[in-house]
Structure 1
Amino acid sequence: MINPHWLRSFCALVEIAHFTRTAEQLNMTQSGVSQHIRKLEEQLGKPLLIRHGKQFTLTDAGERLYQEGRHVLNSLEQLEKQVGEDSAFEGVVRVVSPGSVGLKLYQQLLLLQNKHPKLIIDYRFAPNREVERLILEHKADIGFMTSSSVMSDVHIQAIGEEELLLVTPHTVPSPSWPQLQALGFIDHPDGAYHAGLLLGANYPEFEAGQTFKQSGFSNQISLILEPVAMGLGFTVLPRHAISAFNNPDRICVNPLPTSVSETLYLGVHRHKRLSNRMYTVMEEAKRCLQ
């Protein structure tokens, strides 16, 4: 492989056309420049210059080396520049969160990308434990969770709260305990956990570990309220998920005496250097979710 230092000396000599001035520009001695040219010729097995006293012309091999070598050097210089840059508004940021958080946050981050088109948002939806795993394996730059991390290499900070709400069909406002039992539960991946938190704080009849008749299940956050709107059951969801539902007149969001919220956490890998673009996205997310 051609030594890039030798190649740089050769291309500079071709462009300046003078050994002494080339050496001065490269902060080298004239003999050092000559040595680089000689090493290139030895490696390639071809003469690159035809010397005429203090002047020189390029051989065919020298012409080809200069043309291709200049492209290589330009690419290396551009690579060095790109690696050294740390723009706050350019590059890919990989974000992952549970669905309810994403329904609120993703649209806001798209608006940020629309403002700064070179900032690319790569957004994935995943449950809390999967969010942790993706951060740990460096497959996500930033993660949002509604439970604390159990992994020591995942650093989290609380950035807000998300209220849990009881949702029934619009025909069943302020449901009693027997009405909830008759309706049945529209379950989802966090359904039992959310129901336990909210119903346990507001219905004395609720017992830890109690299960309802299941009237349906969906793992798509945007679809969980469809069976509720059709009168097929009730569910418990975070407010962000309810706010995104397209038919709010077909459901009833029931105020309860004791409000219950989940803490929202922002997570990153503890040993990962955070880029400026990651800070840009994190600050926008905090503003949106607080």
Structure 2
Amino acid sequence: MDLRRLEYFLVLARVLHFGRAAEELYISQPGLSQQIKVLEQELGTPLIHRGTKSITLTTAGEVLREHGERVLAEARLCVERVRAAAEQPTGVLRVAYTRSGADLNMHELVERFRVRYPEVRLSLSTAWTSRNLELLEADQVDVAFVRAAVRHRPVESLVVATEELVVAMADDHPLAARERVSPDDVIGLPLVHWPRAQGPGYHDEIRRQIWGDRPQRVVLEQPDAEHILREVAGRVGIAVLDEHRARKLCPPGVRVRRFVEPVPTTTLVVAWRPRAGHASVDRFIELCREHLGPGGR
């Protein structure tokens, strides 16, 4: 039985007038009459007595009116639940944080997702950019936070935060006396940096903005900001870091200075593998775009 025709019949059974029922249903009166005839043919019995001035329900029509309301209500409920299931994903969403983005909005975005989609279980891990991209490509995580734009990989990405790069130096370094530093000021100075393999895109982004084509004088590599700043405090060299980590982790004996305009910046990016049928990923990216506001892309 066609549910649309059932709905037509139930309206007609309520008002008992073809003209008023047709008007309520926004269809023509002949069209409604034809649909009722088809429904009667499908059920194999007359549903209404057609009088010259009025209509009444047959015994079969009364039965259909009584049970049809419940059938239609159940069908509508079924549709609502199916749509809700599509809008409210379930299962597991595997998210990889990047260690360098802890003070940006990664955790806020994940918490918003958790509150909005409580039926999704979150599996969270933390690594560095290159490792997160490896996990993403190996399908061991669903979305990954990384540093800098993702290029030449089978993933899509969205910038979710931007912050300044700053320079850290020992408190008795000549540059510490300045309010701001220019990229030219750091050329040729001994640099404590981190291995490029941990995040080639991020590493190259810093080099392009500060050093350009000029050589870096890297005297020591350390795996994370804490160790880098410890070496800076020990006067091994200067360091260029994202501002949040540099200021949060700054040890005694170290000064942090901003660059002159235009200030160099770095980005926090969420990356994912585009594929059909993964509602949790789709909803998470939608939430990230929503967080960015109009024009988020």
What residue is the counterpart of 1:210 in the other structure?
215
Query: 1:122 aligns to what?
Result: 124
Counterpart of 1:131 in 2: which secondary structure? helix
Structure 2: which 5+ residue stretches go unaligned?
1-83, 197-201
SS in structure 2 of the partner of residue 156 of structure 1:
strand
CA 1:228 to 1:87, structure 2 compared with 1: closer, same or farther past 3 Å? farther
Distance (Å, rounded) in 1 between the aligned partners of 2:234 and 2:89: 44
* Deviation readout 1:58-87 (Å, 9 max, x if unpaired): xxxxxxxxxxxxxxxxxxxxxxxxxx9678
The residue number in structure 1 matching 2:47 is none
Partner of 1:238: 242
1:248: Cα distance to partner?
A: 7.4
The verdict on how the C-alpha distance between 1:132 and 1:277 changes in structure 2, with shifts beyond 3 A counting, is closer
Structure 1: state its 5+ residue gaps. 1-83, 202-207
Aligned CA distance change for structure 1 residues 103 and 95 (closer, same or farther; 3 Å) = farther
Distance 1:222 1:286 in 2: 33
Q: How does 1:69-148 map to 2 (within 5 A)?
A: 92-105=92-105, 107-108=107-108, 119-128=121-130, 130-145=131-146, 146-148=148-150
Change (3 A) 1:139 1:177: closer
State the structure with bigger RCO (CA 8 A, min sep 6), 1 or 2. Answer: 1
- Output the CA distance in 1 between the equivalents of 2:247 and 2:110: 18
Q: Is contact 2:96–2:141 with CA below 8 Å preserved after alignment?
A: yes
Report the TM-score when normalising by structure 1.
0.52
- Mapping 1:132-211, distance limit 5 Å: 132-145=133-146, 146-151=148-153, 153-172=154-173, 173=176, 174=178, 180=186, 184-190=190-196, 193-200=204-211, 208-211=213-216
Which of 276, 279, 282 aligns to 2:283? It is 279
Q: Relative to 1, partners in 2 of residues 1:278 and 1:120: Cα closer, same or farther, differing over 3 Å?
A: farther
Query: 2:90 touches 2:280 (CA, 8 Å); kept in 1?
Result: no
Aligned equivalent of 1:205 = none
1:238 CA drift (Å): 1.8
User: How far off is 1:136 after superposition?
Assistant: 2.1
Aligned amino acid, residue 255 of structure 1:
F
Report how far residue 139 of structure 1 moved.
Answer: 1.0
State, as a whole percentage, how many aligned pairs show the same letter. 14
Structure 2 Cα separation of the partners of residues 262 and 90 of structure 1:
34
1:229 is matched with 233
- Give the aligned residue type for 2:216: T
